[in-house]
Amino acid sequence: MDASIDSNPFAIPNLWKKSPFMLSEDMPDHTLFSPVSLDVTTIKLENPYAPQKNLEDNLRLPDLDAFTFGPLEDVESLDAESGVSGPVSRTGADSDTQLDGGEEADNVWDIVCELEPLPNEAKLFTWEAFLDPGYGEPQGAYLSEAGPQAFDAALYVQDEQREGSGHKRAGTMLKSDLYLASLLALGLGRSSALFSFNISNGSFLQTLEDCSPSGYSRTTAQSVVDSLIVGGNASRFLLEFVERTYANGNPPSSMTALANVVDEVLSSLESRLVKQIPLIVSLLQLQAAFVQPVNVFTKMQTLVKDVISARTNEDIISRIYEKAQVFEQESEWLRLLMLHILARVAKPWLEDIDCWIGLNNDEGHDFGSLHGSLSFIGRAAISLEQGVGKWDFDYVFLPESTPSSLAPAESRLIFETGRSLRLLRDHHPDHPLATKHHRATTPQLEWTFDWRRVEDICAKSKDYERSLASAVCVFGRNGTHADDIDHDVDHVSETAHTAERSEEFNWKVDFENHTLNLAPPTRRCLPDELYDLIVSDSDGGPQTKADAEPFAPPISLTPVLAFSPLISAQARLVNAATIRLLFRSHDLRLHLRLQFHHHLLGDGVFVANLSSALFSPDLSTAERRRGVVRTGTAMGLRLGSRKTWPPASSELQLALMGILTESCQSSTLARKGKPRNEPGEDVAAGTFDISSSSPNLPGNLSFAIRTLSEEDVNKCMDSKSLYALDFLRLQYTPPSPLGAVITPRSLERYDAIFKFLLRLTRMLFVVSHLPRAGLDAEERLFRLSAHHFVSVCANHFVHCCVGETFAAFELFLDEMERKMDEEDTVQELGVLVDEGIGSLRERHEACLEAMMSRLMLRHRQREIMTLFEEILGCVLRFADVLGGDKDRYDTSKRLSQIPGLHKEFKKKVGVFLTVCRRLVCKKGARAATKAGRDSAVQGEDNGTERLVLMLELSGYYPPPKDDTLF
């Protein structure tokens, strides 16, 4: 430091004196370094690389207009001088030709790869060695840069230092290639030299406990081993599942499909890992390669464990469907994988549905059996005691076996469509829907998960329905029985296209022309899609256009979107065809009217003849008597005028002979039914024929003996009881295919109503034949009360409960036929009438249920009916007292019994009316009210209210004082 500077840094001798550390005034104040001289003449001696000219001349841009390149050196001479051989990229015509050919230019580094390897003593040049020939490269500061041997030595030293302190030793160091190969086999579920599968534990175990690969600690290696053991166990489980499924003799088709999918997934993942083996040189790379496969193995193991206990296709699909909805919130790759699995597993089940509803050939399928492919379709055994024998239609719907992916209404529609289709095939094999030649062009059901495919399915369904409806309309005009039915459909307006056809038109040719115009269904190959999806990366792998859609429909909606268009189209066609055949070829309306005339006592001729044959005392008895010869005059059972009961079977045959035939031939049914007596004419099954030449009535209608219990038989033994005629019944067998509508359940309802109405018919006969002369005041009052009660109840039950309900059902049938005629006029199917056989059967049964409810014949109304029967029993005893033999009843006994019967009658009628009034007040409390709405009739309470009004208005029958009804 300069001596002139004060040694005291805090001394301020002169406040304005400048510091000696400040820069001089001639130096620039913006930098601490001396300015660079730009004079070339001053710096060229110090720097050999300095420019020879002024910088302004060197930095000046050339004149673009006059600029030209200098001569280029010959490329071949340069190659010869450099000594480099091999293909190089060339300019000019050769280069242009190569680029035009579509091939990429050669990589310059390929030239280096083709050269001979460098010798081991070759020295790599660095900038430091270039500047300083004696420069030495510094040693690495990280242990990992010294190689795996140094890391192993460090672990050994660490173990030596910690020996005796409980620290685990590193164990045996193995070669990396052996260890990686063993881990690769472990991840694929295979045993190796280091890992073996323990059957008792169900897991892989290490054969050497204290071992680790060279260059890794035991903790690091064990973490990788643990993760691969999880994947290996899952892979082993999946392999065993596939082997057990294939070894099983008769597994469900969906279970076999799941095993195929699992096998393909395992094979695809193994193929992907095999491609990555040459690139795996470290334990971390192996772990990274198995991250996705282990995830897939564990997910599929969980899925298989949930499904392995299922025994039906529907159960398997339901469980996978629910699992797929859980995976909907997972990554896109796993979601797509699960959707592919769901589609593959459901494919055999969808093919079975195709066969059931007529979209595919069903040869070899045994639907409804114990081992049937569709478990929600069963078979019902028809009891011969019901009088209907073995039906062609014996399929039943099992809603508890339907999969969760289908809505109950959708499952029911599938069942009814297939059931109606089999009815059509059995009775009309020439119908377009029953033939099999169009199956190759028919679209099939498939489970799709994107909007584009859903739109394709809708378009194919519309084309299929349009083409097949055209063939059905042609068959309806030129079919076998098109001209034999009462409903004439020849008034259908012919279009210009159909007018050019001849009368001998072959509908099959037209149908083939329509169906062959349809594009064949394009299905993507699911196994290839599955392979492409698995071998791709989880996030950035290749995906198809459909899979890359950002707004896919929710999985919960895919069954409706994928299945409903085609199923609904097929259901509309089948329903339209079967309904028309039932109405027009099999006379369903006449058979239903036949039930109304006889089972429901709607025919006055039949009721009059039956009453006379059963109760009239004026007819000769059919009872066999010793020494008395039966005459050819009309005979009857004379119930109430005979001492022995029940009658013999021969008596029933003589008394009831010809009643049914006479009533049928004299009714309107004989005029509506068209007998077909022309020779060679084809008569459809179920044709209504009641002509005199026909040996049997429609449905073999006849009287029969009802099967009764021992208690009911004892009741029938008393001729003076209300149950004396309960053994008599009408037997009717609905001809096929009408049994699909007039079911055994319907026949049971008809039989119960007939038994009740037969009792009322007897009561009407009894009260109308009560003596009028020789009665005192109380007897006359009792007679009038009994006659009023029985006649009002019979009128209400016959006309209001039975007649109005059946009339409303017939209005529904009339409206259905009117709409069918309108559809035939415009040549459309399933537009106005969407009801099928199932809907018609339900409406028919609902009508009978409404009758049962309004007649108080339901099980829950048993107490009310019991009270009503007790009232009728009082009337029968009163009639027996008045009309009894003088030897059995003298005047004193008669006068002593009548007051008690009258008092009992009034009390029971009062209780009955009180119950009816309470029923009127409880509107909407009866399940039959809903049944009444379904059958387009009034509810139960409205009919009961009318019964109360007709029985009394003045309160003549007071309610019981103790308010005890039963």
Domains of the chain, by residue range, sit at 147-153+168-309, 364-478+552-582, 586-624+635-669+696-729, 770-884+891-927+940-965
How much is the average pLDDT of 507-520?
37
At 624 the pLDDT is 64
Q: Is the dihedral of CA 659, 662, 664, 666 positive or negative?
A: negative
903 vs 621, residue with greater confidence: 903
Residue 594 class from Cβ within 10 Å (0-12 exposed, 13-18 middle, 19+ buried)?
A: buried
Once rounded to an integer, what is the mean pLDDT over residues 289-311? 90
748 or 886, greater pLDDT: 748
The residue ranking higher by pLDDT, 926 or 947, is: 947
Confidence of residue 855 (pLDDT cuts 50, 70, 90): very high
**Which residues, other chains included, contact 497 with Cβ-Cβ below 8 Å and sequence gap of 6+?**
none
What phi and psi values does residue 619 have, to the nearest 5 degrees?
-80, 155
SS3 per-residue string spanning 182-218: HHHHHHCCCCCCCEEEECCCCEEEECCCCEEECCCCH
210 or 609, greater pLDDT: 609
Q: What integer pLDDT is reported at residue 84 of this predicted model?
A: 44
Residue-wise DSSP of 808-875:
HHHHHHHHHHHHHHHHHHHT-SSSS----HHHHHHHHHHHHHHHHHHTT-SGGGHHHHHHHHHHHHHH
When pLDDT is averaged across residues 323-344 and rounded to a whole number, the result is: 87
Q: Determine what percent of the chain is predicted with pLDDT higher than 70.
A: 68
641-670 per-position pLDDT tens digit: 777 888 888 888 888 888 888 888 777 776
Structure tokens at 409: 């209404």
Residue 808 has pLDDT above 90, yes or no: yes
Q: What is the pLDDT of residues 821-844, one digit of tens each?
A: 888 888 888 788 888 898 999 999
Cβ–Cβ < 8 Å for 411, 399 = yes
Gap between the Cα atoms of 427 and 418, Å rounded: 15
Residue 945 pLDDT grade (very low, low, confident, very high; cuts 50, 70, 90) = confident
Considering 99-103, 146-150, 543-547, 554-558, the range whose residues carry the highest mean pLDDT is 554-558
> Measured between alpha carbons, how far is residue 788 from residues 106, 767, 776, 777, 799 in Å?
115, 9, 18, 16, 16
Return the pLDDT at 160: 66
CB of 573 closer than 8 Å to CB of 475: no
pLDDT tens-digit map of 476-495: 665 544 333 333 333 333 33
370 Cβ contact partners less than 8 Å away, ≥ 6 residues apart: none
Structure tokens at 837: 């056989």
Q: Residues 149-158: what's their mean pLDDT?
A: 74
The pLDDT assigned to 38 comes to 54
Q: How confident is the model at residue 889 (pLDDT cuts 50, 70, 90)?
A: very low
User: What per-residue confidence (pLDDT) applies to 775?
Assistant: 81
* β pairing state of 728-731 and 702-705: antiparallel
Q: How far apart are CA 647 and CA 735, in angstroms?
A: 31
Mean pLDDT, the chain, whole residue set: 76
Task: Note the pLDDT tens digit of each residue in 421-470.
Answer: 888 888 888 888 877 655 546 788 989 888 889 999 999 888 888 888 88
Q: Which helix (H) or strand (E) holds 745?
A: helix 744-768
CB 594 within 8 A of CB 701: yes
Helix (H) or strand (E) holding 172: strand 172-174
Q: What is the pLDDT of residue 484?
A: 36
303 alpha-carbon distance from chain centroid:
21
Residue 779's CB is within 10 A of a number of other CB atoms, namely: 21
Instruction: Say what the pLDDT of residue 809 is.
Output: 95
pLDDT of residue 221: 82
pTM score above 0.85: no
Note whether 218 and 308 are within 8 A (CB): no
Contact criterion met (CB below 8 Å) for 584 and 487: yes
For residues 553 and 561, the answer to whether their CB atoms sit within 8 Å is yes
Q: How far apart are CA 192 and CA 181, in angstroms?
A: 8
pLDDT confidence band for 78 (50 / 70 / 90): very low
> How far apart, in whole angstroms, are the C-alpha atoms of residue 590 and residue 673?
7
Would the pLDDT of 48 be above 80? no
